[in-house]
Chain A
Amino acid sequence: AQSVTQLGSHVSVSEGALVLLRCNYSSSVPPYLFWYVQYPNQGLQLLLKYTSAATLVKGINGFEAEFKKSETSFHLTKPSAHMSDAAEYFCAVKSTRGGSNYKLTFGKGTLLTVNP
């Protein structure tokens, strides 16, 4: 069975500070990993994805994430927070084969607040 744990349901940073949102996963097969962002009253927008190519993945809006197999982690970072980054962020894992058959599982989300 696959699962995703996002550490910290709420993260608060100052504008210009480093953003670090944590995600750990479990999967019995090599996973695909995703980060999505959701602004209030909107749908989910893909930030970036890992699909077994480069372990450091760059996404939109200056975000990036690093896949670390030994730590089963896929943390999301941005060097300098902007007010417009305030949103909820979701990490997700998709299995690539086996009984789960491409099932997509989400973490509970991390609400990012950016203070002026």
Chain B
Amino acid sequence: NAGVTQTPKFQVLKTGQSMTLQCAQDMNHNSMYWYRQDPGMGLRLIYYSASEGTTDKGEVPNGYNVSRLNKREFSLRLESAAPSQTSVYFCASSNEQGSPLFGSGTRLTVV
């Protein structure tokens, strides 16, 4: 009964370092999403995957890449982290008619 699991919960990176945020869901959902949340900006969609094998850019994709490894897992990669990518990152999943369910978030700081 885990729902959406994100790892890690906290991370500090130096400018230029790379890292991958992991997301897994156990609800057999087709669609998965990555968002970033910044004060006053709400949640902005980075990338989403409507189904296994497909990914599409959202509102703010620059500096990020994603992989839909299988139906359960959707990872977000920062190839060369920048201070502007300091944010809280949320993963979510849903089926077509269902309500998107969110993970607990990853708080990333880039120094």
Contacts and interface: CB of A to CB of B under 8 A. Distances in A.
B111 interface: no
Contacts of A49: 99
What interface size band does chain B fall in? Answer: 20 to 34
B33 interface: yes
B31 A102 contact: yes
Interface of A: 6, 9, 32, 34, 36, 42-44, 46, 49, 51, 90, 92, 94, 96, 101-109
Interface of B: 31, 33, 35, 40-45, 48, 50, 56, 58-59, 90, 92, 94, 96-97, 99-105
B41 A94 contact: no
B57 to A, nearest CB: 10
A4 to B, nearest CB: 8
A108 B33 CA distance: 17
Q: Secondary structure at chain A's binding surface: helix, strand, loop or mixed? A: strand
A45 to B, nearest CB: 8
Max chain B C-beta neighbours (<10 A), residue from A49, A90, A102: A102
Given A104-B33, A109-B42, A43 B105 contact: yes
Contacts of B44: 106
A51 B90 CA distance: 23
B103 A43 contact: yes
A55 B104 CA distance: 30
Nearest to B95: A102
Contacts of A105: 45, 59
